[in-house]
Amino acid sequence: MDREKLVVIIGPTAVGKTKLSIDIAHRLNGEIISGDSMQIYKSMDIGTAKISQDEMEGVPHHLIDIKDPGDDYSVAEFQETVRPLIKNITAKSKMPMIVGGTGLYIQSVLYDYHFTDTPSDPEFRQRLELELSEKGEGAIHQLLASVDPESAQKIHPNNTRRVIRALEIFHCTNIPMHDHLIQQKNELLYDVALIGLTMDREVLYNRINERVDLMVKGGLIEEVKDLYDQGIRDTQSIKAIGYKEIYDYFDGKVSYEEAINQLKQNSRRYAKRQLTWFRNKMDVKWFDMTPPINHVQKVDEIFSYIAGKLKL
């Protein structure tokens, strides 16, 4: 039985995924599934660099604005949602495309991961949540580092939900979550053209800094203030880069200038982690987007690779 065809475009924040993905989608008659763990949230547009209706240019997009900021969202739920979407898009004789930068989310779809195979222990999880409230994020992340350093390196301390889940898996099985994933990662479930966009590090970091400045000018502070005034806090969404830094400013923990500088620094570090993840975890065909480039020629080059890879 032929596997479904799938185009995946990945890369660090601010590398140019949005515009390129739209141009490729037009050529492939594609529909885009967001592979970003934060663009699922309503009312969080500026801080997540969410694509606008005008930028979509009529290309259908999925998994954008499907959750309220107070809702949780998991990689398992992403997997459960995306696989039927791929089937539905393919059934319409259109090309499914996943575009984004959340590596584990995308990886969970491409490979046969079974999240339900790992047991749980609600009492242990409650103890960890109590320890989190008493000792903070650093303490439980350090605990994870002591038993599963590979996962600790890849999971940011702010992502306490995943830190606790990784500790729970180790507690129940005595096997690190990282090893569980390696054991499950066998072969691709789809006929995939996996495109990675990269850029000179210094140029990328400058683009990230400029993007943050544009977000602030575009109303980021007001967007975050609205969430803050609604009393939304200690949620998965507010722990995201672009929101937690501004929350610290509103809480009086840092100055305005410190918050913006921290946001830029965290965004740059995140981009570095994204690139490291993709290079270590996936068989990616990389394309350099460092300016100056001829955008049309770059689209031609990437489309040609996709057509050859998927035998279109």
CATH number of the structural domain spanning residue 138: 1.10.20.140
Sign of the dihedral defined by the CA atoms of residues 300, 302, 303, 305, in that order: positive
For the chain, the 3-state helix, strand and coil shares in percent, each to the nearest 5, are 55, 10, 30
Tell whether 121 and 106 lie within a shared domain.
Answer: no
Tell whether 80 and 139 lie within a shared domain.
Answer: no
Residue with structure tokens 């990886």?
107
Tell whether 105 and 120 lie within a shared domain.
Answer: no
Helix, strand, or coil here: 112? coil
Tell whether 146 and 264 lie within a shared domain.
Answer: no
Tell whether 155 and 220 lie within a shared domain.
Answer: no
Tell whether 81 and 127 lie within a shared domain.
Answer: no
How many domains in the chain? 2
Tell whether 122 and 107 lie within a shared domain.
Answer: no
What is the domain range of residue 21? Answer: 5-111+192-310
Tell whether 129 and 152 lie within a shared domain.
Answer: yes
Out of 183, 204, 224, pick the residue that ends a domain: 183
CATH number of the domain that residue 70 is part of: 3.40.50.300
Rounded Cα distance between 305 and 143, Å, is 44
DSSP assigned state of 153: H
pLDDT digit string (tens) for the chain, length 312 residues = 589 999 999 999 899 999 999 999 999 999 999 999 899 999 999 999 999 999 999 999 999 999 999 898 888 889 999 999 999 999 999 999 999 878 888 888 998 776 655 667 888 888 888 888 888 888 888 888 888 888 888 787 878 888 888 888 888 777 777 676 666 556 789 999 999 999 999 999 999 999 999 999 999 999 999 999 999 988 888 988 999 999 999 999 999 999 999 999 999 998 988 888 888 777 899 999 999 999 999 999 999 999 999 999
